Amino acid sequence: MSSPDTFRQEFLRFALECDVLRFGEFKTKSGRLSPYFFNSGLFNTGESLLRLGRYYADAAIASDVAFDMTFGPAYKGIPLVSALAIGLAEKGHNLPYSFNRKEAKDHGEGGLIVGAPLKGRVLIVDDVITAGTSVRESVAIIRAAGATPAGVLIMIDRMERGTGTLSAVQEVEAQFGIPVIAIAALPDVLSLVSATAALAEHKHKIEVYRETYGVVD
């Protein structure tokens, strides 16, 4: 079982193992040349999803954010919230979860929400935050149901500026007044390359990138 002191590095090594985390030179949507890239879509097997759910659960528990249930925005959030629910249950926190449909169903049980009713404090789970669109939609859905968004749980926080002085994560925290929890963040990536001889060549490029585009933690 991961401990609060080690799960972040374990997660990044797991991401390396799955080829989710890569080092080199990658052009981002913003046109920046990043020395590392994170492709969460490559967590695409049953075993990797099981392990991912455990790391999500580690981060949620370590954060001390209080929540009564979890919610995953369609579509990417559906397997993620399912994995998180399983990971939490394994650690003794058997909580309800739900996700939304893109379009409300007008037959059968109907409605927009699948799973448990949205009640109490709701933790949103996603892969990353870029433009924050899915978070805004999720917050609106949760509040419309009379529940309270408790926070957002993501895999990695790149901690770099968007078009302004804040990162996408900081913008979400400022706009909605809720914490964003990440399994790992840029300082954890730097710790990984510093501790791994095979990755040491990438350290300087990541430090320069952070100095150029990074935000204050």
Residue-wise burial string across 8-43, b where 16 or more C-beta atoms lie within 10 A, e elsewhere = bbbbbebbbebebbebeeeeeeeeeebbbebebeeb
CA–CA distance, 206 with 193 (Å, rounded to integer): 9
Which is catalytic among the residues 102, 107, 119, 205? 107
Which is catalytic among the residues 29, 93, 105, 202? 105
CA–CA distance, 103 with 176 (Å, rounded to integer): 24
**27 flagged as catalytic:** no
81 in helix, strand or coil? Answer: helix
**105 flagged as catalytic:** yes
Report, as residue numbers or ranges, the catalytic residues. Answer: 105, 107
